Amino acid sequence: MLAVMAAPQHVVLLRAVNVGGTAKLPMADLRRHLEALGCTEARTYIQSGNAVVRAPARVAARLAERLADRIEEAHGFRRPVIVRSEAELRAVHAAQPFDDEDPKKLHVAFLSAAPEAGRALDPARSPGDAFALVGAELYLHMPNGMGRTKLDNAYIERQLGVTSTVRNWRTVTTLLEMLG
């Protein structure tokens, strides 16, 4: 009997859905959209647009753009989508550069691409906070909390010239657990 290999797993991250009563997207709808685009085994985590799917390389390569289009058509709003392979998410977890492992203080900004050379954040912008840019991820250590930082998504995108979506460390580790 011929064994069939399952498609590789990927993590899908949407920015700013179900926040403050705007851009409402039921997670059941997100799963249906992902499956309609060729993903299988779509599972979501909390209501903020996190999903784990299986997708062949040809589907995964265009998933961010196609999912953003589909959500806009079906729900009337467009939000950025970032996709990472299982291997990429495992590398993100392994590369976390800060000694403090308190998940409330650690975050990752997943970037749509590595920023161009010469683009940078001001290390003095948010006293007490620290960051480390590693490829297409920006690790954030925020001892005073996400609500008090001046390293917000709008600033990150403006300075680095790429789209981003931020996840706390607990979400990153939970998505890893969902990958198995």
Q: What is the CATH number of the domain that holds 61?
A: 3.30.70.1280
Residue 3 pLDDT:
55
Q: Which residues contact 92 (CB under 8 A, 6 or more apart)?
A: 84, 108, 110, 137, 172
Domain boundary among 34, 53, 87: 87
Residue 4 pLDDT:
58
One domain, residues 16 and 41:
yes
pLDDT per residue as tens digits for the range 24-73: 999 999 999 999 999 999 999 998 899 999 999 999 999 999 999 999 99
One domain, residues 98 and 145:
yes
Domain boundary among 29, 52, 87: 87
**Residues of the chain under the 70 pLDDT cut:** 1-4
Residue 47 pLDDT:
86
One domain, residues 81 and 36:
yes
Residue 104 lies in a domain: yes
Residue 16 pLDDT:
85
Residue 2 lies in a domain: no
Domain boundary among 87, 105, 135: 87
Is there a contact between 25 and 71 (Cβ–Cβ < 8 Å)?
yes
One domain, residues 36 and 98:
no
Q: Which helix (H) or strand (E) holds 33?
A: helix 27-36
Distance from the first to the final alpha carbon of the chain: 26
